[in-house]
């Protein structure tokens, strides 16, 4: 086996490999400072097994941690291979540990869910060695410790002695020149302990490594090359204190890279799978949050699409609403601005507007209020021009009625009178329909006795006697009720004729507004400009859509925010779960750090783990949001109510991952911040 140490042994008299100079390590405890190690000078040599003996609590472990770069001295320094290791940065120290030091612990600290082979290969994985190569080397190492046939066993399936052999093989994975064992036989029976000790002696004598073993077993003293006794943090005896020549500065081996991304991902996936129940729970939390967000936002988008769609479908894209004021009105639900100053809107203006370049037709957007009678029944109601004209009435709502039965009235007036479309409520009042039997009203006759115009804002205005005349109408269709006041619809030309009949001298007739239809959609802007040039106000479909769309964006964002709150709660859950995971796996983190994982590797590991939960939760949330939305929409017979776009699905995923990563970052930072020694204590 090639070894750094082997080169060093060529020097006679065993060169020094690690040296503590005036090393002191203190702990503050309850305002009191306790020195675990007090001013220790000690140099250990390559090719020897140095045994450190002393009672419990005398500072043996502390000494070993300082030698192996797991901890730093409070005063003094630690040197190895021409470097002051106690002054390396945390990452360089971690890399030095990974390549130059192998740790063996009393409690083995093997990862329980991994096979012997995987445990041995772990330091290699953390060092970025490719999978095939690390398996080969791990197999070789298992053979070296006499466990070639136990590669596939998990720690629980091994005896204590075998588990410690696996741990020694793992310590040798990076072919370190220094092997440090902290009470490696403490958990073994006498025979097993002696075998492990002999194996460690072999590492020093055969490979020329520096081996330091901590124990309180006097029996080993006879087998060690050198015995150092420690008491109360001080070296009190040393069987071979002569310090040989210093080891030459070896190749700097702490510049190595970290684990491959795939390695960390694999470790994260296995951690998620190992705690499947809790992972599912956390993922579900994210999923619920994302579901809420996606569902609510898709409903918002669906509503907007539906309303914008119906505006586009039913309103001629070529409409321009003309108001008397020069100020653009947009959509107004209150009293109309048209009652103020500005140019009046009457039959003369309809004719004037109809003559404009690019205009196909102009008609008033007026409505009549009156009594409708059929046989013995009667009801009062509003009669409006058919959409698109109705759409621009400021007192109307943006949603449009749906035709439930029959058809829209044609231009021809039959003997039975002009055609009318009745809303459900009026049809029911006049013909007492059962639900679903709206068709029964089609073809029936009724009369309308107008009593006034309905001005924008709902005031009833006076009309001339000619307009008040009772007229006969034939029902051509029945429509759904719209929000607000349901109205009956007649053709705009018919309504205009009735209004004109009441204003014989033409002077008093005023319309709330006039609808102008451009010849082509491309003419709309020009027509609107010409209308404004005449001193009128003009609002186009584009203006209206803009307003509607903007209003719904606000609704969508509001709905999304509610989903976001759900997601934040899910994030809190992830933070709690990850914090628990850090607590639970403190020892595992310590082992990873001891065998060379850098802080950032541990951080990445936990963040990736959280991210995976977020990704899974986000995907499930997307699917659920879409599924629940679709089923709900189908149940409500509103197929377009829910609109899940790829963008929204991506947003759901991004939110899931983002919240999870944010929530995971704090516990991950905590995990990464633990010192290897702290973590190994498992506190
Ligand atoms: P040994 O390994 O010989 O049993 P240690 O090196 O673990 O002894 O500990 C030496 C002394 O330092 C003990 O008194 C112990 O209580 C104290 N000590 C070790 N680690 C800590 C710590 N993190 N905080 C406070 N005191 C500590
Ligand atoms: Mg100890």
Return the number of other C-beta atoms located less than 10 Å from residue 452's C-beta: 16
Beta carbon of 62 within 6 Å of any ligand 1 atom: yes
**pLDDT above 70 (res 310):** no
The residue nearest atom 1 of ligand 1, judged by CA position, is 57
pLDDT tier at 308, thresholds 50, 70, 90: low
**pLDDT above 80 (res 112):** yes
pLDDT on residue 394: 32
Percent of the chain with pLDDT over 90: 29
User: Looking at 26-30, 85-89, 130-134, 472-476, which range is the least confident one?
Assistant: 26-30
pLDDT tier at 127, thresholds 50, 70, 90: confident
pLDDT tier at 31, thresholds 50, 70, 90: confident
pLDDT tier at 51, thresholds 50, 70, 90: very high
User: Looking at 146-155, 198-207, 301-310, 471-480, which range is the least confident one?
Assistant: 301-310
Average pLDDT, the chain: 81
Beta carbon of 36 within 6 Å of any ligand 1 atom: yes
The residue nearest atom 13 of ligand 1, judged by CA position, is 57
Give the mean model confidence (pLDDT) for residues 231-245. Answer: 84
Ligand at shortest distance from the CA of 59: 1
Please tell me the distance from the alpha carbon of residue 642 to that of residue 510, in angstroms, as a whole number: 43
pLDDT on residue 201: 96
The answer to whether 76 and 22 have CB atoms below 8 angstroms apart is: yes
pLDDT on residue 467: 81
Beta carbon of 25 within 6 Å of any ligand 1 atom: no
Percent of the chain with pLDDT over 70: 83
| Torsion sign, CA atoms 549, 552, 558, 562 | negative
Beta carbon of 329 within 6 Å of any ligand 1 atom: no
Q: What is the dihedral of CA 575, 581, 584, 586, to 10 degrees?
A: -90
Helices (H), 14-130: 60-67, 90-100, 116-126
Ligand at shortest distance from the CA of 55: 1
For a pocket test of ligand 1, which of 55, 57, 65 has the largest count of ligand atoms closer than 8 A to its C-beta?
57
pLDDT on residue 291: 84
Ligand 2 centroid to 184 CA: how many Å? 11
Q: Which of 218, 214, 198 is nearest to 206 (CA)?
A: 198
Ligand 2 centroid to 545 CA: how many Å? 76
The residue nearest atom 10 of ligand 1, judged by CA position, is 59
Ligand at shortest distance from the CA of 37: 1
pLDDT on residue 382: 86
Ligand 2 centroid to 63 CA: how many Å? 9
Q: Which of 182, 186, 217 is nearest to 66 (CA)?
A: 182
- Domains of the chain are 3-258 (3.40.50.300), 267-307+549-681 (no CATH), 318-540 (no CATH)
The residue nearest atom 7 of ligand 1, judged by CA position, is 61
Beta carbon of 61 within 6 Å of any ligand 1 atom: yes
Find all residues with CB under 8 Å of 137, minimum gap 6, and list them: 121, 124, 129, 173
**Ligand 1 atom at minimum distance from 54 CA:** 3
Ligand at shortest distance from the CA of 677: 1
For a pocket test of ligand 1, which of 20, 25, 29, 36 has the largest count of ligand atoms closer than 8 A to its C-beta?
36
Ligand 1 centroid to 34 CA: how many Å? 9
For a pocket test of ligand 1, which of 23, 25, 27, 73 has the largest count of ligand atoms closer than 8 A to its C-beta?
27
- Range with top average pLDDT, 145-159, 366-380, 473-487: 145-159
Please tell me the distance from the alpha carbon of residue 683 to that of residue 678, in angstroms, as a whole number: 7
Return the number of other C-beta atoms located less than 10 Å from residue 478's C-beta: 25
pLDDT tier at 440, thresholds 50, 70, 90: confident
Ligand at shortest distance from the CA of 74: 1
pLDDT on residue 480: 75
**pLDDT above 50 (res 284):** yes
**pLDDT above 80 (res 619):** yes
**pLDDT above 50 (res 596):** yes
Give the mean model confidence (pLDDT) for residues 396-417. Answer: 64
pLDDT on residue 330: 42
More confident residue, 399 or 401: 401
| Torsion sign, CA atoms 78, 81, 84, 85 | negative
pLDDT on residue 424: 85
**pLDDT above 90 (res 298):** no
pLDDT on residue 482: 63
Ligand 2 centroid to 59 CA: how many Å? 7
Please tell me the distance from the alpha carbon of residue 466 to that of residue 498, in angstroms, as a whole number: 7
Please tell me the distance from the alpha carbon of residue 95 to that of residue 600, in angstroms, as a whole number: 12
**pLDDT above 50 (res 78):** yes
**Ligand 1 atom at minimum distance from 182 CA:** 2
N-term to C-term CA, the chain: 38
The residue nearest atom 22 of ligand 1, judged by CA position, is 27
pLDDT on residue 292: 83
pLDDT tier at 20, thresholds 50, 70, 90: very high
pLDDT on residue 313: 47
Give the mean model confidence (pLDDT) for residues 478-493. Answer: 75
Beta carbon of 55 within 6 Å of any ligand 1 atom: no
Q: What is the dihedral of CA 105, 110, 116, 118, to 10 degrees?
A: -120
Return the number of other C-beta atoms located less than 10 Å from residue 398's C-beta: 17
Ligand 1 centroid to 61 CA: how many Å? 7
The answer to whether 69 and 101 have CB atoms below 8 angstroms apart is: yes
**pLDDT above 70 (res 472):** yes
The residue nearest atom 6 of ligand 1, judged by CA position, is 59
pLDDT on residue 395: 30
CA angle 599/274/601 to nearest 5° reads 10
Give the mean model confidence (pLDDT) for residues 262-282. Answer: 85
* pTM passes above 0.85: no
Beta carbon of 89 within 6 Å of any ligand 1 atom: no
The residue nearest atom 4 of ligand 1, judged by CA position, is 57
363 bridge partner residues: 515
Beta carbon of 29 within 6 Å of any ligand 1 atom: yes
pLDDT digits (tens, 9 = 90+) for 130-187: 999 999 999 999 999 999 999 999 999 999 999 999 999 999 998 999 999 999 999 9
């Amino acid at each position: 086996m090639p070894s750094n140490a082997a080169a060093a042994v060529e020097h006679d008299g065993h060169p020094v490999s690690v040296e503590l100079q005036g090393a002191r390590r203190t702990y503050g405890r309850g305002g009191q400072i306790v020195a675990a190690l007090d001013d220790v000078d000690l140099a250990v040599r390559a090719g020897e097994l140095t045994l450190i003996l002393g009672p419990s609590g005398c500072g043996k472990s502390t000494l070993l941690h300082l030698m192996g770069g797991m901890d730093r001295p409070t005063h003094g320094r630690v040197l190895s291979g021409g470097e002051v290791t106690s002054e390396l940065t945390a990452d360089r120290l971690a890399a030095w540990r990974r390549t130059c030091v192998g740790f063996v612990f009393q409690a083995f600290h093997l990862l329980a869910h991994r096979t012997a082979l995987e445990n041995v290969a772990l330091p290699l994985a953390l060092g970025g060695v490719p999978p095939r190569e690390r398996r080969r080397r791990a197999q070789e190492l298992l053979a070296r410790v006499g466990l070639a046939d136990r590669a596939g066993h998990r720690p629980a399936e091994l005896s204590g002695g075998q588990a410690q052999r696996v741990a020694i093989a793992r310590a040798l994975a990076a072919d370190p020149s220094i092997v440090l064992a902290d009470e490696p036989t403490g958990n073994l029976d006498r025979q097993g302990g002696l075998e492990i000790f002999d194996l460690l002696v072999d590492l020093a004598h055969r490979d020329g490594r520096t081996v330091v073993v901590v124990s309180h077993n006097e029996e080993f003293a006879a087998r060690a090359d050198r015995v150092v006794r420690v008491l109360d943090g001080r070296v009190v005896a040393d069987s071979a204190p002569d310090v040989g020549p210093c080891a030459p500065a070896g190749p700097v081996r702490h510049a190595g890279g970290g684990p491959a991304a795939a390695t960390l991902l694999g470790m994260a996936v296995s951690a998620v799978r190992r705690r499947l129940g809790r992972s599912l729970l956390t993922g579900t939390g994210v999923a619920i949050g994302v579901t809420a967000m996606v569902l609510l936002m898709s409903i918002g988008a669906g509503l907007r699409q539906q309303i914008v769609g119906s505006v586009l479908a039913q309103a001629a894209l070529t409409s321009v609403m003309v108001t008397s004021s020069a100020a653009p009105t947009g959509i107004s639900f209150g009293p109309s601005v048209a009652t103020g100053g500005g140019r009046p809107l009457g039959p003369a203006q309809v004719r004037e507007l109809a003559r404009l370049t690019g205009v196909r037709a102009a008609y008033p957007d007026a409505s009549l209020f009156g009594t409708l009678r059929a046989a013995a029944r009667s009801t009062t109601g509003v009669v409006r021009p058919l959409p698109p004209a109705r759409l621009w009435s400021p007192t109307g709502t943006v949603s449009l009625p749906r035709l439930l039965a029959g058809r829209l009235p044609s231009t021809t007036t039959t003997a039975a009178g002009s055609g009318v479309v009745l809303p459900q409520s009026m049809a029911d009042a006049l013909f007492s329909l059962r639900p679903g039997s709206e068709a029964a009203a089609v073809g029936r006759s009724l009369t309308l006795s107008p009593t006034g115009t309905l001005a924008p804002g709902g005031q009833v205005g006076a009309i001339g006697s000619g307009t008040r005349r009772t007229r006969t109408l034939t029902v051509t269709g029945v429509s759904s009720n719209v929000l607000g006041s349901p109205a009956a619809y007649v053709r705009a030309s018919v309504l205009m004729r009735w209004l004109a009949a009441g204003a014989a001298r033409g002077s008093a007739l005023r319309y709330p507004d006039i609808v102008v239809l451009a010849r082509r959609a491309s003419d709309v802007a020009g027509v609107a400009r010409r209308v404004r040039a005449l001193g009128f106000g003009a609002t186009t479909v584009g203006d209206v859509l803009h307003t509607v769309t903007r209003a719904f964006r606000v609704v969508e964002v509001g709905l999304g925010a509610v989903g976001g709150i759900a997601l934040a709660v899910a994030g809190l859950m992830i933070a709690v779960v990850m914090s628990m995971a850090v607590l639970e796996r403190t020892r595992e983190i310590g082992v990873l750090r001891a065998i060379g994982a850098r802080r950032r590797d541990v951080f990445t590991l936990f963040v990736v783990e959280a991210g995976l939960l977020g990704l899974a939760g986000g995907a499930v949330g997307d699917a659920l949001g879409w599924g629940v939305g679709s089923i709900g929409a189908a149940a409500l017979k509103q197929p377009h109510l829910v609109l899940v776009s790829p963008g929204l699905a991506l947003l759901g995923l991004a939110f899931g991952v983002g919240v999870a990563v944010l929530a995971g970052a704090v516990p991950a930072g905590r995990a990464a911040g633990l010192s290897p020694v702290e973590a190994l204590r498992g506190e």
